[in-house]
Amino acid sequence: MSRTQTRTRTQFSFVPAIALVSALALTSCTAAGTGPTSEGPVTYELTAQTPAPSGDIDSFTWVTYAEPYSLDNAYAFDYPDNQVLSNVCESLLRLNPDFSISPSLAESFDNPDPVTWVYELRSGVTFHDGSPVTAADAVASMQRHINPEIGSSWYSVYQNVASIDETGPMEVTVTLMKPDSLFNQGMSGAAGVVESAQTLADAGREYGNSTALVNCTGPFEVSSWKSGESITLTRYDQYWNPELMAKAEEVTMLFMADPNARVNALTSGQVDGGWFVPSEAIEKLQASSGDLYFGLNSSVASLIVSNMEGVLGDVNVRKALLMAIDRQGVVDAGLQGYAQLTNALTTESVWGGVSAETRDETFAGLEEYPYDVDAAKKLIEDAGVAGETIVIRTAPMGAEFTIVAQATAAAAKSIGLEATIETMTPDAYTTLFADPSAREGVDLFLTSWYLSTPNPLEMYGVLQTGQFSNYGNWTDPQYDALVDEGVAAQDAQESAEISAQLQQIASEQLPWLPLYEVPMTVYLGGRITGVAPSVAMLYYPWAATIGKR
């Protein structure tokens, strides 16, 4: 989800999508962005899989930029939460590093009619407390997302669900109120996680916090959570899947908000690896004794407009601000050229289930927002809002965040607006995506919003009226109707053509301001190897594949 970096949810008929996305992920390729010097564009190679480990390892350490908000999957809605949970909890289906989807806790599933999904659970799977997984556990876990007392961040995946029933000791049947082409794919992410029904009942509201922890089925279990410091994972030796049995006996994940501290910890060997390398440190890490990799990503960096009641409620003011931001300058200064500008809220990699013609047309026909301060000033003058103030929230998570905030404030001032930058801690920044009260009085904040499936409707469904992640409460009746049509569509090409219309509307109305897209980054020190550099690490047990170099 993505949020500082952030995420979302979804599903649809995924079989046609897998081939293209797999091809993109498994083929090394080179991408380019304009670099910060006159030496030419920056290039980087995408890697599908790092070298295989030579054997198991006693332990390794990992660094993350913030402490998880929660380890309860109903509330885990950001990178720090899910890069832990992906190794601890498992879903009915599994999202793989190449963005294909395969069986997991459900060994099979069936769609006998457009409103019914039947999941047959795998036998012989146990929770970390040793108790067996049954259909009752899956039903209890899934029903939490439609319980208003829980307030799950993943409710939108279940919004069309009529009932979730135990139809056999190891069988779960989901009945929908209407066809939903997104539901099944959502079972490969946090919305499909199965937890112990007994533990959920016993722990209550304490489930997923630093004292109650969690009880799931993954290759690791959470053995300790030291608030403000670290989380330790221990290999679960009774894990059911020999192909993903953890190669490390223990993993310690350290929380380091300061990007310089994270980089120094990596280069000094204090920690063995980490995701989301600060762009300003890429060259330093490439010159170190470890290895830096770029991998498949589905995220777009955007400025979320979180206050449609303020000055940015006028679409022409939003357009003016985007035209006044020197996006290429941001990429050069904040990301050292390791990014590409975009006018869309999705990457081409998630359009795998469509024809090349449809994909090319939907990106080629988007509204353009060239850097043009004079034209932007004219829009502000016509809107009569000169002198109005916008509030930008940011956090010290790397040069990118600081530079985007400063560039946005400078852009606002260059066209006659005022701007205030408010800085939060990385942990507090995460609450912008989970707590509406945290967004009060805020007009803009940066996200790197990722998609969990190869389906652009996942992104555009987020912006439908009333959705949890429609943070600014933007609304457009035509758009809402198209989302409903796309969700109901059973044909992948038809759904994609509707998504193309949604992308066009979002590009014209700018509920979020698209900036650029970046590759996934991961650094491995000299002791470890074996990880797949992919944004799927948010749902795939990436730490289990890491072993001795």
User: Higher model confidence: residue 447 or residue 450?
Assistant: 447
Q: Which pLDDT belongs to residue 39? A: 52
Q: What is the pLDDT of residues 356-405, one digit of tens each?
A: 888 888 898 899 999 999 999 999 999 999 999 999 999 998 788 999 99
Q: Read off the pLDDT of each residue in 76-93 and give the average, rounded to a whole number.
A: 94
Going by their DSSP bridges, the two strands 171-176 and 116-121 should be labelled as antiparallel
Which residues are CB-neighbours of 67 under 8 A, at least 6 positions away?
80, 227, 228, 255, 427
Q: Which pLDDT belongs to residue 18? A: 25
DSSP string, 277-293: --GGGHHHHHTSSSEEE
User: Higher model confidence: residue 354 or residue 10?
Assistant: 354
User: Checking phi first, is residue 441 left (phi over 0); if not, alpha (psi -120 to 50) or beta?
Assistant: left
Long-range contacts of 468-472 (CB under 8 A, 24+ apart): 468/153, 468/155, 468/156, 469/6, 469/8, 469/156, 469/433, 470/511, 471/304, 471/306, 471/432, 471/433, 471/439, 472/304, 472/305, 472/306, 472/307, 472/308, 472/312, 472/511
- pLDDT band of residue 491 (cuts 50, 70, 90) is confident
Q: Which pLDDT belongs to residue 427? A: 83
Give this prediction's pTM.
0.81
Q: What is the pLDDT of residues 400-434, one digit of tens each?
A: 899 999 999 999 999 999 999 999 998 899 899 98
Average pLDDT of the chain is: 90
DSSP string, 263-279: HHHHHHTSSSEEES--G
- pLDDT band of residue 7 (cuts 50, 70, 90) is very low
User: Higher model confidence: residue 452 or residue 74?
Assistant: 74
Check whether 29 has a pLDDT greater than 90.
Answer: no
349: which DSSP letter? G
Q: Which pLDDT belongs to residue 40? A: 54
CA distance 345 to 154: 20
165: which DSSP letter? E
Q: In the chain, where are the structural domains located?
A: 21-89+210-295+520-548, 93-201, 300-517
CA distance 537 to 522: 11
Check whether 517 has a pLDDT greater than 80.
Answer: yes
Q: Which pLDDT belongs to residue 41? A: 65
CATH 3.40.190.10 at 21-89+210-295+520-548, yes or no: yes
Q: Which pLDDT belongs to residue 522? A: 97
CA distance 34 to 479: 34
CA distance 350 to 368: 21
Q: Which pLDDT belongs to residue 355? A: 78
Closest to 366 in 3D by CA, of 518, 510, 485: 510
Check whether 4 has a pLDDT greater than 60.
Answer: no
Q: Where are the beta strands (DSSP E) in 297-388?
A: 300-305, 340-341
Q: What is the pLDDT of residues 167-177, one digit of tens each?
A: 999 999 999 99
Q: What is the pLDDT of residues 236-251, one digit of tens each?
A: 999 999 999 999 999 9
243: which DSSP letter? G
Residue with tokens 């304490």: 206
Q: Which pLDDT belongs to residue 9? A: 29
Q: What is the pLDDT of residues 289-305, one digit of tens each?
A: 999 999 999 999 999 99
DSSP string, 423-474: E--HHHHHGGGT-GGGGTT--EEEEEE--SSS-THHHHHHTSTT-TT-TT--
Check whether 110 has a pLDDT greater than 60.
Answer: yes
Please report, for residues 66, 161, 180, 186, 340, the alpha-carbon distance to residue 148 in angstroms, rounded to integers and kept in the order given. Answer: 28, 14, 21, 19, 40
Say what percent of the chain tops pLDDT 70.
92
For 93-201, CATH gives 3.90.76.10
Q: Read off the pLDDT of each residue in 222-229 and give the average, rounded to a whole number.
A: 97
- pLDDT band of residue 57 (cuts 50, 70, 90) is very high
User: Checking phi first, is residue 347 left (phi over 0); if not, alpha (psi -120 to 50) or beta?
Assistant: beta
Check whether 322 has a pLDDT greater than 80.
Answer: yes
Report the chain's terminal Cα–Cα distance, integer Å. Answer: 31
Q: What is the pLDDT of residues 323-347, one digit of tens each?
A: 999 999 999 988 888 999 999 999 9
Name the class of domain 300-517. alpha beta
Q: Read off the pLDDT of each residue in 69-82 and give the average, rounded to a whole number.
A: 91
Q: Read off the pLDDT of each residue in 259-276 and give the average, rounded to a whole number.
A: 95
Check whether 234 has a pLDDT greater than 60.
Answer: yes
